[in-house]
Every structure is written in structure tokens, then in C-alpha cells.
Amino acid sequence: MRASVVAAAVLSTLVGRAATGEVANGSFESGGSGSGLPTVAGTWSGDVTAFVSVDQGITPFEGVQMVRFIYTSPNGPNISLAGSELWQLIDMSDQQDLIGTGLAVLHAAMVVNRIPGDEQTDTQFTLGIYAYAGTMSGFPSQWPTDHLDTGQTLLETDALTETWEPMETTLCLPVDTDYVAVHVAAIEDIFNDGVDPEFDGHYGDLVTCELILGDDGDGDGTPDVCETCPWDCGDQDGTVATADLLALLGQWGGAGSCDFDGDGVNTADLLKMLGAWGDCP
């Protein structure tokens, strides 16, 4: 209950303004990327990439430029690595009131495209958000194991150059989050080249992040979007089964862990549970 009250108070301060963890230069319209892992907010840095305009028949999705992923290291082709990666750090220090509610949800999105190529042309891209405690100057030593939590998605793309494909991922921020790292990459999933070119023509554009106050319909202090299997509300054993049904019936007409929509445990909750019966996704 206290978490819901605090969240409501924070939400009231957000009326009329966006609570946004913004990505700088998300359409790659200016400058270029740095080399290696970043240590400050607001710049792209990582492996060898290029900010390009129309290239190999592919037109930028937004504005006049996009990023082309070129090599899997800051120095050139590397047979031991499989991803051409870019990172950007976002300082979350001015969003601590929202993050402290436990209901802060960060949503990231981008679009990707590639040329058809040949039988050795790679097809995958990844988009990720990583939450960290500490200072951004320590990011190179914190990556890749010392993050608080992460949200990631992987996409296997088609060969249609005229259509950009969307990607998105969500991360419910831990309350001790000080900064986040946005990660975008093309992946060698078909053939691992050790020579130039590692990627035939792989592009990304319009990387965005939005920080919002997540819905908490059941009032348990966790954003609903983070509850990947809310129907396992009885014993949390990874399976929706008899123990969960008994817990729901025991809470009938009132609030509780099996109240999935916040209006009391009722027939709607029962039907949702039965529809999810079995192993959690």
C-alpha cells in the first residue's frame, strides 16, 4: 500500500512533463562514435561503425543518417568476436524519486535493416538495456557481469531493404539504479568473418528510450509488465497449478496476490489463470 501511495505522489509531479531517460543522437545525425566502452553519458561508443546517409540502396528511417555496423572490435575485424556493438550511457540521477518507487520502467526501441547479401550474410541484431549502481566512469570494469538487471531482445531480420524492422525491450529498474547502458549491435550468426568486411551492410536508426511509471494493478509494488507469470500467485514455483487455484479461491472477493487487475479477485482473474494453466512462459 505504501508503495502505491508514494508512486501516486511521484506521478502527480510528472503531470505536464515527460519522465524520459533520453538517448542522445538516437538518429545518428551528427558526429560519429567513440572507440571502446564509454565512461560518460550522452555519446555513442564501442566497435567500428559509421554514421552514413543513403548506403547500398538503404535510406535512413529518420533524418538523413543512420549507423552502419562494420567491425566486431574497436580496431577492425576480430575472429574471436561476433558482435559489432555500440553503447550509450544514460545518467539517471535526476530520476531517483521515480526509481525509488520501485515502479520505474524503461522502454527502449530502435529499427534495423540490412542488405540481402548472399548465403554468408548475417541476419541478427540485438537491443539491450543494462542497469548499474555506481559511477559511469566505472562502466568498463562493471561490464559485463556487474549489472543490477537487464532487458534484451534479439531479432532475426528479413532481406527486404525497403522495410525497416522494429525492435523493443523493457527493463523494470531496480531501486538502486544510478545509470543505464543502452546496447545496440549487429550479430554474426551465419558466418564469422575474420577479415573485412565482417558485415555486408547492416544498419540501425532511431534509438529511443522512455522512462515511465509502470502500472501496478495488483498493488504489490512491482510493475505489472515485470510480472512475467502473475498467475503463479500461490507458491511461485514456475507452474500455474492447483496450489495457485486454491490461493485464488482463498482470496475470492478481496485483494491479494491473485488479483491480476486490481479490482478484487473475481471471475475475470479465475479465467485468466485457467487460460495460463501449466508451465510459466
CATH number, domain 228-279, options 1.10.1330.10, 1.10.357.10, 3.30.70.260, 2.60.120.200: 1.10.1330.10
Beta-carbon contacts of 180 under 8 Å, excluding residues fewer than 6 positions away, are 21, 89, 90, 92, 106, 129, 130, 131, 132, 171, 173, 209
pLDDT tens track, the chain, 281 positions: 333 333 333 333 332 233 446 899 999 999 999 999 999 999 999 999 999 999 999 999 999 999 999 999 999 999 999 999 999 999 999 999 999 999 999 999 999 999 999 999 999 999 999 999 999 999 999 988 899 998 889 999 999 999 999 999 999 999 999 999 999 999 999 999 888 889 999 999 999 999 999 988 778 788 878 877 888 887 777 789 998 899 899 889 877 778 777 677 899 889 989 999 998 87
Of 162, 171, 169, 161, the closest CA to residue 185 belongs to: 169
Q: pTM for the whole thing?
A: 0.78
DSSP-derived secondary structure letter, 237: S
Domain ranges within the chain, ordered by starting residue: 2-213, 228-279
- Distance in angstroms (rounded) separating the CA atoms of residues 131 and 6: 22
Q: Do 228-279 and 2-213 have the same topology in CATH?
A: no
Q: What is residue 172's DSSP assignment?
A: E
CB 231 within 8 A of CB 259: no
Spatial separation of the C-alpha atoms in residues 143 and 176, rounded to whole Å: 17
Domain 2-213 in CATH 1.10.10.10 = no
List helix spans (H) across 76-188: 96-100, 139-142
